[in-house]
A and B are shown apart, each in its own frame.
Chain A
Amino acid sequence: MSALEKVLDQYNSRVYKNRKEHMVDIGNNENDNQIAANVRTIPGIITQRGCCYAGCKGVVLGPIKDALQIVHGPIGCSYYAWGTRRHKGKKEEGIDNFLQYSFSTDMQEPDIVFGGEKKLKQSITEAIDLFHPSTIFICSTCPVGLIGDDIHAVARWAETEYGIKCIAYSCEGYKGVSQSAGHHIANNQIMRFVIGEGDRQIKNKFSVNLLGEYNIGGDGWETERILKRIGYEVVSTFTGDSSMEDLKNAHLANLSLVQCHRSINYIAEMIEEKYGTPWMKVNFIGVKGTMETLRNIAKYFNDAELTRKTEEVIADEIGLIHDDMAYYKSKLKGKTAAIYVGGSRSHHYQFLLHDLGVNTVLAGYEFGHRDEYEGREVLPFIKPDADSKNIESITVEPDKEKYHLYLSEEEIGKLKEEKLIDYYGGLIKDMPDGTYMVDDLNHYETEEFLKVLKPDIFFSGIKDKFIAQKSGILSRQLHSYDYSGPYAGFRGAVNFARDVTMGIYTPAWSFVKAPWKTAPILEGTLGGE
């Protein structure tokens, strides 16, 4: 029986039929590695997925430091998003930073019965009195959508009443099937009301946006450091350590770099459509991944000096980490890993693991869509279902004044053909035959796959971390890096290698079995001799 069959075996026929579609034994299947993704979780299944609100407020909006974010709803949702998603933000002169605060309307029973708009308005008034923000975001939670509070009208009211920017996000938890719906809702509003409003002077033609980079453990800073060293100007980062001012100017860049494809591919497309800035899928995780990415970006800008500088920086950075990486590789070579996180991360980290001689035997996404697995070529074949139709999708037109092209249309066309820009190949192309790709890996399947595949490390989130560890397998959180990092770029690779090595070689593993469990207990004699 294959590993997949072993895992699926205990399901009843309905669950079996459903979950089978979400699992691929790469190279060994009849349906050409096709996978089901972005569909509902089966009720009762212990899933690791979160909700629309978590994607909107927790992931995309949370890191924007100078927007005061009021969560409209009962207290819990605001409380859980308070400092728990790890996105670092620096203090900057003249820019507000509200990251240490949690704001909520703390709705009570009467607000649910009689409506909460009045309380929301009063909350905005109080927030303005106390904090004087230039921007307020309102995020709604489940009951708000049900009782019908018009948060968008309240946002308009706040803008007129107080002359600030106020954007509402209808990101009730029940929308869509995972966090992914929330990313979409957040980005739609940012596209509508933020991007394009800035008029910053961009001094450098090698100007880029860093999209889908949320600065976990300082990844965004490390990536920016390398890019700046080569000579790029980072116009905006979506949304790690970002300010509204940065986001407003995103349209001025000459290229958008997309790190997390899932959370932001549509914004990248819309920026291109409206302002002419193409996007490139990048990966700053892993030594080879970073190197390849830097070369691809240089190829796009097609400038001899930039290309030279790129090679110089790569050589220098690699020189600095070479010995460390060689040491860690000697400690990790031959180990195996399973990864289950996010939208692009399960893909990216395989490169870094590969740098260290670690092979990934199982990978999957928590909220990926088919294109993150199979590549963008499947986009025309993805059929929208009721859940995806419930998530608003917006269209944009070219902006007559702000549309600009860095390359000629012909050059852009050529790069598109080469799949250097506007393309993502997905996870599958980098996973060898005989490995497994599983969408929305749930608790039961995690437990079973770990038993069957016995990887040395399981990369996941906090909810499943201790499940793996209790069963004797090292687990490190790839959502939060277990509060270490950064893991991006060259230096980040060393941090990652160090963390995994210390996990594998921690002496405590050798104490899991008490000595009396294996030693002969009684010394006796046979037959009364």
Chain B
Amino acid sequence: MLDYTKKEPYERTALRVNPAKTCQPVGAMYAALGVHECLPHSHGSQGCCAFHRMFLTRHFKDPAMAASSSFTEGASVFGGGSNLRTAAKNIFEIYNPKIIAVHTTCLSETIGDDLNEIIKSIDIPEGKFIVHTNTPSYKGSHITGFSNMVGSFISYLSVKTGKSNGKTALIPGFVNPGDMREMKKIARQMKVPFTMLPDTSGVMDSPMTGKFEMYPKGGTTVEEVIELGDCDQTLAIGKFSSEWGGQTLQKKCDVPYKLLSMPIGITQTDNFVMALQSISKAEVPYELEEERGQLVDILIDIHPYTYNKKVAIYGDPDTVIGLTEFVLEMGMIPKYVLTGTPGEAFENEVKGLFEKYGMKDCQVKAYGDLYELHQWIKNEGVDLLIGGTHGKHIARAEDIPFIRAGFPIIDRYVHSYMPLVGYKGGMRLAELITNALMDRQDRDSLEEDFEMVM
């Protein structure tokens, strides 16, 4: 396994090996699936669309529907305008979505297709919509693409009428449907009327009914997106995946936004709850306090197995920041923290957490890759690895317990239904982490030390 990964540090300036990120369009496609009756559309050659659908399907084990402009060489030379016009006509006629959400690819970006102009020239049926976002694959990562698509929904559709609807706009970030459900549950418990954008719950975790629905029940409706302009405020969850959406709504409709960290772990869930409380002025209901108390109870119970254990965490920035803070709350040491998405803010935020918890010898890197993470681990090992599927080779090569959290998880089931956020998500993470460490202790113990009770 990964036999060629060397221990000795080596400065690379060009070659990326085993990336910890992918490209913008897949994030845009995921965001678009969170709008009800929306068909995402990839403006480029059809391979991109196939790859993104494949990836989302493998992560969610649910259909990810999307169309493509299917460029061939001609379109690449003369521009993709006519492809998009034909595509829009066919899509509305055959698949009848309420809205088409177009994202570009590195191909259409490089030839410089002007999507604004092309869309203006399309005869859009009454009551239907086309929006677009620019997602050049050579900039940022899939998180950038997600964030861009959310921003575009707002800038295209949201309207301020001047009359408040008393709601809060909730931008959940690049998370699983299970997380979105958990955030919505907490918002309801805190008596905050809200609209979540995007909301893939009900779409990417839709139930088995014996009937395929092209547009399942879930998703933010177009009307709701329009009405975001009349919200009183926005809670943007996660700087990297949601701040752009918050900013866009502020700029366009004067809706102020508050930026929160992903509510993973106790502190950030507390912050989320209090942010909601400052809106509704409601008491925190006992059910939520009870959950919080249960989580704290669990962390105290399990501390002998987690305390001072070293962890390596990689994945998407907002999720990784949340996971880092949570493992710190558990008394663990986030020895290595890495994301593939570029951005200095990530490093600063994680360094702030290191400082807060008095961590001296921990390393953080934005814009890294898994080859480098593996090199670090070779030089000083960790007790646990946390991240998406692509870390499994490192886990095997170095014989490290591994739990899967984040995106993508393409080799396990059920994860997308289960939250990482909220106190409930904390309980689940605590269970995953402790059990992984305890399984390892069982596996490694001498026969005479093998314990019935632990």
Contact = CB atoms under 8 A, between A and B. Distances in A.
A125 B13 CA distance: 10
Contacts of A43: 68-70, 83-84, 86-87, 90
Contacts of B91: 44
A513 B47 contact: no
Contact of A84 (B1, B45, B54, B76): B54
A271 interface: no
Contacts of B58: 84, 462
Contacts of A51: 45-48, 50
Contacts of A106: 16, 19
Interface in B369-398: 371, 390, 393
A44 B400 CA distance: 46
A49 B50 CA distance: 7
Interface in A131-146: 131, 141-143, 145-146
Given A45-B94, A470-B208, A54 B47 contact: yes
Interface centre among B18, B22, B72, B213 (most CB of A within 10 A): B72
B70 A103 contact: no
Contacts of B16: 75, 78, 103-106
A103 B50 contact: no
A173 B45 contact: yes
A45 B67 contact: yes
Contacts of A107: 138
Given A43-B70, A147-B110, A76 B44 contact: no
B90 A443 contact: no
B223 to A, nearest CB: 25
B268 interface: no
B14 A123 contact: yes
Contacts of B18: 82, 101-102
Interface string A107-151: 111011000000110110111011100000000011101110000
Nearest to A73: B106
B21 interface: yes
Given A45-B94, A466-B62, A141 B50 contact: no
B76 A45 contact: no
A12 interface: yes
A129 to B, nearest CB: 7
Interface centre among B63, B74, B109, B213 (most CB of A within 10 A): B63
Interface residues of A, number: 88
B212 A447 contact: yes
A367 to B, nearest CB: 11
Interface stretch (B2-10, B191-199, B255-263, B440-448): B2-10
B19 A470 contact: no
B406 to A, nearest CB: 15
Given A44-B91, A76-B23, A119-B14, A471 B106 contact: no
B211 A142 contact: no
B267 interface: no
Nearest to B80: A43
A471 B340 CA distance: 38
B19 A100 contact: no
Contact of B90 (A44, A96, A447, A466): A44
A467 B212 contact: yes
B209 to A, nearest CB: 7
B226 interface: no
A444 interface: yes
A315 interface: no
Contacts of B235: none
A102 B17 contact: yes
Nearest to A127: B15
Contacts, number: 259
Given A44-B86, A51-B47, A123 B15 contact: yes
A470 B47 contact: no
Interface string B32-63: 00000000010011111011011101100111
B138 A80 contact: no
A102 B393 contact: no
Contacts of B371: 101
Nearest to B390: A82
- The size class of the interface chain B forms with chain A is 35 or more
A294 B64 CA distance: 42
Interface in A380-433: 386-387, 390
A177 interface: yes
Contacts of B340: 75
Contacts of B157: none
B217 interface: no
Nearest to A126: B15
A212 interface: no
B358 interface: no
A51 B51 CA distance: 9
Given A42-B90, A51-B48, A146-B111, A79 B15 contact: no
A142 B84 contact: no
B75 interface: yes
B107 interface: yes
Nearest to B211: A471
A84 B12 CA distance: 26
Interface in A449-473: 461-472
Given A75-B22, A174-B76, A463-B53, A47 B139 contact: no
B107 A142 contact: yes
A130 to B, nearest CB: 6
B88 interface: yes
A15 B210 CA distance: 29
Interface string A41-68: 1111111111111100000000000000
B89 interface: yes
B306 interface: no
Contact of B106 (A143, A387, A466): A143
A373 interface: no
Given A54-B51, A146-B76, A126 B12 contact: yes
Nearest to A40: B72
B50 A108 contact: no
B39 to A, nearest CB: 8
A86 B57 CA distance: 16
B57 A462 contact: yes
A80 B51 contact: yes
Contacts of B87: 43-44
Contacts of A447: 212, 214
A505 interface: no
B82 to A, nearest CB: 8
A176 interface: yes
B450 interface: no
A80 B17 contact: no
Interface in A279-299: none
A11 interface: yes
A46 B66 contact: yes
A387 B54 contact: no
Nearest to B69: A43
B90 A15 contact: yes
A481 B4 CA distance: 29
B4 A130 contact: yes
B10 to A, nearest CB: 6
A466 B110 contact: no
A175 interface: yes
A496 interface: no
A52 B138 contact: no
Nearest to B10: A130
A74 to B, nearest CB: 4
Q: Which 6 A-B pairs have the closest CB atoms?
A: A51-B47, A76-B23, A44-B87, A44-B90, A122-B14, A74-B137
Given A147-B110, A177-B72, A463-B63, 7 more contacts: A41-B70, A75-B340, A84-B58, A123-B14, A126-B14, A142-B110, A463-B50
Interface of B: 1-4, 6, 10, 12-19, 21-26, 41, 44-48, 50-51, 53-55, 57-58, 61-76, 83-84, 86-91, 93-95, 105-107, 109-111, 136-139, 141, 206, 208-214, 340, 371, 390, 393, 410
12 contacts: A40-B70, A43-B84, A126-B14, A141-B106, A142-B106, A143-B110, A172-B76, A173-B45, A174-B44, A174-B76, A386-B74, A471-B210
